[in-house]
Amino acid sequence: MKPIDRRTFLAGGAAAGVVTSIDLPAVLRGQARPSGKGLADAPGNTPVDFRFAPADFQSTICFPDDSDKTVLGKRGDLRYEFPADIFAGIDQFGTILEFTLAGMGRDEWREQRMEAPGVPIVYTRLERAAAQIDLTTFATRREGEGRVDNVLMEIRPNSGEVLAAPLVRIHSCDKYKLGENAGKVVNVLKGEDPNPWMLCVPLNAFSSTGDMFWRGIEGGFDLFLEHGKAMADEPLRYLFRIAQKGAGKVDGTLSPDELLREVREYWREWHAFGGKVDWSLPEAKGEFLVACARNIQQAREMENGNLVFEVGPTVYRGMWIVDGNFLLEAARYLGYDEDADKGLLSEWTHQVPSGQIIASAGKEHYKDTAIAMFTLVRACELKQDWGLLRQLAPKVGHAIEFLIALRDEARKGDSPNGKYEILAPGFPDGGIGGVHFDFTNTLWALAGLRAVARANENLKLPDLTRATGFYNELLAAFKRAAADQMVMDPRGFRYLPMLMREDPAMQKDSWDRPRPQSAQWALSQTIFPGEVFPKDDPVVRGHIALMQACTQEDIPAETGWLHHGGVWTYNAAFVAEVYLWAGRRDWAHRTFTGYSNHASPLRAWREEQPLQTALLGMLWGDMPHNWASAECVRYLRHMLVLEDEQKLRLLDGLAAQDARARRPFTLKETPTRFGRISLEVEPFGLRGWKVHFKRGEGQAPESVEIRENAFPGADFSRISGAAAHKSDSGVVSADPTAREWIAYWGV
């Protein structure tokens, strides 16, 4: 089956639900509904407790840049062979390995956790009436063996002692059979390969008693292993070792404790950050930061000699330009500069003779061409080196010509896009498939053109000269179109839909018509980081009001492909960034906390899922979805250091909860358009705080700002090492040319 568009549903896959009416004034005041399962606590007081985690979640246990992207299910099942050449459903794995027990009853899931945010050894607990089953799952890559997945099963009685026998269920259409046993070790062979695919090692089960057997079942095979006695002080233990592609002979004599020791040593030596960059954040935020760095590294892969920052291990294992923009920025925030350069150059290998960049989203996703331009400029800003833009300038100039041709093509037709003189109709994405009379492609074109035009003010590269003129033309055309297409929402505000009123989709009945918030993702990103519009622009005000009005479970709801009763989880991070940039710190904090609570306990996100109280809907999209991981990293960086045009805003997203913990945190050598910034923040005295600021080489910002009330309960005292003044609005401005200073609160 060929992909129709980026997130095409399989037949029968569309989700729907009842639209909850929202009292806009209450929402805009930030009032929450009564607390309870699936409902929000009072804004600003919600803990991160994964209350909105998806009903089914999965994780990866592989190594960084590993080609074997083993997926681990919530119940400890191993999921393999996701189809690479079709746009399949999220559960269409070729082979699934399930570890359970024989006998009566079903396993009840109790928990799944990771050993540490940076150590993907995963513990899963299942329970039966008489015993609990603990599964420890991890990957190894020993010399001579290659990549192997390992599962240690431990069975413990709830009381006294029990007899138990493991059951391994192989759900697959492939052919499997038993090989010759090597002592107590049971070999499972796959296809015609004479080397064992899986070794089943009973560590303390009875010697062969003849109760092991193998049988074919519908859709796979069952393997019943030798039984044993489980006691409270001596659990019954089995080790399963599953060879991955290219693995050598797998050793069945190794102890799980030795294997675990080796893999722990590897991950203890692994670093979440690279180069000069280092971060230290307390509590939940620090755990998310490290986990997201790991998620991103695990998803990367070499393809045709190019390093690709892939979005996930299944549906989006490919080249996605818009996802890549944010993944590559997050990579630089984490210190992976060299890797990010490789990922950036990989994107430009997808440029075709017309100048367009065509990747996994398809040729009508015209915005990809402009996004690649934006990504390139942002990379040069953060590197403080414009060499890549100089190198790729001919390609960028060709991309600009393609965008101009798209506008000219629209002018020749009779579409509303042509009437307004914006880009030709294209694929909106973010909940709206197919080709439409849309704004999303024009919006991202504005962001990309603006970035190139601003960069070329100093560079004066001939290939880029058309960027400024075309940007001005397109922006004027968009403003005329937006003024004409703004809609008065019955909840009392005006906003810009992403489809024009003339589009056939807007004529559908209320159930099938795109939601007002559908495809607003591109507008969020054009607002920030695109910075195309001023904060008081009607388009910005309308977008913020719309996002607030559709908030459920502390994040905007029904913004993606699940139009009814669903949430596009990491869309919340786009919106939290807009709130932060616009100075809506309470909404930014609330939305980012809600976003964190939609992660699994292993700190990964499913792309979309139903609301907790929805009575219909489905899970949709990849997991771990690493655009989501990138957005978490980006928000945490911008919470501490935010580039707002030529302003540098410090600690602007710091919330009261962050200060209450009175734990120090640091951000060292983070790249910005003004050079590398370092912050050391620590408690000082009984209730005070101290902030140590450093800025490296680079153009000075127009202003460096920090809030007077950045630390609730502690009054701003002074800045040592730089001239400073306070405004009537409570903003402390430090001399922007000063490279280093220390600010004090409560002293």
What's the pLDDT at 286?
96
DSSP secondary structure code for residue 609 in this structure: E
Instruction: Please report whether residue 318 resides in a domain.
Output: no
Residue pair 117/603 in contact (Cβ under 8 Å)? The answer is: yes
Q: Buried b / exposed e across 607-625, counting CB within 10 Å, b at 16+?
A: bbbbbbebeebbbbbbbbb
What's the pLDDT at 303?
80
The tokens 């549903």 sit on which residue? Answer: 9
What range does the domain containing 193 cover?
Answer: 65-268
Instruction: Please report whether residue 71 resides in a domain.
Output: yes
Read off φ and ψ for residue 221, nearest 5 degrees.
Answer: -145, 150
Say how many domains are in the chain: 2
Q: Which domain-ending residue is among 268, 295, 312?
A: 268
CA distance 53 to 60: 17
Q: Which domain-ending residue is among 221, 246, 268?
A: 268
Residue pair 148/243 in contact (Cβ under 8 Å)? The answer is: yes
CA distance 370 to 359: 13
Q: Which regions in the chain score pLDDT beneath 50?
A: 1-40
Instruction: Please report whether residue 121 resides in a domain.
Output: yes
Q: Which domain-ending residue is among 220, 253, 268?
A: 268
Q: What type of residue sits at position 60? A: T
Residue pair 245/163 in contact (Cβ under 8 Å)? The answer is: no
Instruction: Please report whether residue 263 resides in a domain.
Output: yes
What's the pLDDT at 595?
98
Instruction: Please report whether residue 319 resides in a domain.
Output: no
Instruction: Please report whether residue 146 resides in a domain.
Output: yes
How far from each other are the two terminal CA atoms of the chain, in whole angstroms?
66
Largest CA distance in the chain: 84
What's the pLDDT at 32?
34
The tokens 């233990």 sit on which residue? Answer: 237
Contacting residues for 325 by C-beta, under 8 A, at least 6 apart: 371, 372, 374, 375, 378
Pairing, β 161-164 against β 228-231: antiparallel
Instruction: Please report whether residue 112 resides in a domain.
Output: yes
What's the pLDDT at 411?
96
Which tokens is 152 given? Answer: 């240690």
Instruction: Please report whether residue 186 resides in a domain.
Output: yes
What's the pLDDT at 19?
28
**pTM higher than the cut 0.85:** yes
Which tokens is 279 given? Answer: 């971060």
DSSP secondary structure code for residue 344 in this structure: H
Pairing, β 647-650 against β 703-707: parallel
